[in-house]
Amino acid sequence: MPQSKIIMYTTEDGVTKIEVTFDHDTVLLSIDQMAELFQRDKSVIGKHIRNIFKEGELVKETVWAKFAYTASDGKTYQVDFYNLDVIISVGYRVKSFRGTQFRIWATSVLKEYMKKGFALDDDRLKNLGGGNYFDELLSRIRDIRSSEKVFWRKILAIYATSIDYNPKAESSILFFKQVQNKMHWAAHKHTAADVIYQRADADKENMGLTSWTGKEIKRSDVEVAKNYLSEKEIDALNKIVTAYLDIAEVHALNQEPMYMKDWLETIDDYLKMTRRDILTTKGRVTHKQALEKAHKEYEKYRKAQDDVISPVECHFFESIEKLHELEGKG
C-alpha cells in the first residue's frame, strides 16, 4: 500500500503550508485519507471525485490505482487510491475550512509561478528537501513546556498546534470555555467560578488569597481562581499539565498529526486514564456570580485595610516623632 502522505498546517504567523511525503516519486491517497486531509465526510469526497471524472476534468484510468489493504479485522480489502491531480481537484471543490486553507496556499504558489515562471519552496531548500513540520511542532511544544504561562494557557497553546487549528470553529469556542474548568475540576473538584465564590472572604487573612501580583492585593487579583489555591492544589494542576505536554510530545515524536477534535478527546481520555473526575456540568456558580461576590468582598477588605496603618505611614510617623525629639533637644 502507498506510504505517501500530505500534511497541511498553519504556522504561528498564520501562513498555510503543505508538506508532502512522496512514495517512489508519487503521491497517492485513498478517499479516507482525503477525508481526513480536508476534514469532510468520505461521502462528500467520493461525490467530488465522481464529478471530476463525470465532467471530464480528469480521466480515471490515468489518475487511479487499486491496492490491497489489510484491515484491523485481519481481512484484506482492495482500496482505491488517487494521485496528486485528483487531490488538487478535490481541494478546489471541497467546502470546508481545510479546503479554504488549501486554496489559499495553491493560489499563492500559482501567483508566484505566473510572475516568475517558477515557484520555489524556500523551507524545503533550506532543509535539503526534508520535511520540517514535526520538527517545528516539537520545538513549539518544548517552548510551551519551558514558558512561564499559567497551567491552562499552556493547554490552550498545545491546542493551537492542531494541524487544522481554527480559533473561530465551534469546537474551539467550546474548548476555550471548558478547558480551565476541566483542569480545576480534575485537581480539586471545583470549577474556577466555584473557587472564587467560595473562597473570596474579606474577613480572612489576605482575603483568602494564597498568591497575588505585587505587594498589595488588587481588584484584578481576586478575579483569578488560581490565586486562591493551596500549594497541594497547584501541584496537582501542574502535574496534569506536565503529563498532557508529555502526550503532545509523544505524538510529535511519532509524527502523528493531531486535529482539534483529537485534543478535545485526549484531555478527557487522559483524565479518565488517571481516574480523575471529569466535569460534566457547568458548575454550581456562574462566572458573573463569582466576580460579583469577589468584588463585594474586595471592597469590604479594602475599606478594612484603610484603617490599618501601612509600613509607609509607620515610617512617616516615626520620622515625625524623631523630628519632635530633635526640636525638643534644641
CA 11 to CA 65: how far, in whole Å? 33
Asked if 141 and 48 sit in the same domain, the reply is no
End-to-end CA distance of the chain: 102
Same domain, 143 and 164: yes
Cα distance between residue 224 and residue 26, in whole Å: 54
In sequence order, the β-bridge partners of residue 307 are none
d(CA 213, CA 226): 12
pLDDT in tens, 252-272: 888 888 888 888 788 888 888
C-alpha span between 247 and 274 (Å, rounded): 13
Residue 122 is predicted with a pLDDT of: 45
Which of 113, 129, 145 is a domain's end point? 129
Q: Are residues 168 and 70 in the same domain?
A: no
| Cα–Cα distance for residue pair 241/276, rounded to 1 Å | 13
Q: Classify residue 329: in a domain, yes or no.
A: no
Domain limit, last residue, from 83, 105, 129: 129
Position 322: which residue type?
K
**Is residue 80 domain-shared with residue 25, that is, in the same domain?**
yes
Instruction: For residues 163 and 10, give the distance between their C-alpha atoms in angstroms, rounded to a whole number.
Output: 7
Intervals of the chain under pLDDT 50: 113, 117-130
> Are residue 219 and residue 308 in the same domain, yes or no?
yes
Q: Is residue 323 part of a domain?
A: no
Provide the mean pLDDT of the chain: 80
Report the alpha-carbon distance of residue 285 to residue 330 in Å, rounded: 66
Q: Tell me whether residue 326 is in a domain.
A: no
Residue 325: its pLDDT value, please?
A: 67
- Amino acid letter, residue 133: Y
Both 202 and 104 in one domain: the answer is no
The whole domain housing 115 covers 5-129
Rounded Cα distance between 164 and 18, Å, is 12
Same domain, 301 and 152: yes
Per the CB < 8 A criterion, the answer to whether 78 and 66 are in contact is yes
d(CA 227, CA 292): 17
69: three-class secondary structure by DSSP: strand
Contact 15, 136 (CB under 8 A): no
Instruction: Sheet containing 28-30: give its strands across.
Output: 28-30, 76-83, 64-70
What is the number of structural domains in the chain? 2
153 and 112 within one domain: no
Q: Is 298 found in the same domain as 168?
A: yes
Across-strand partners of 10? Answer: 16
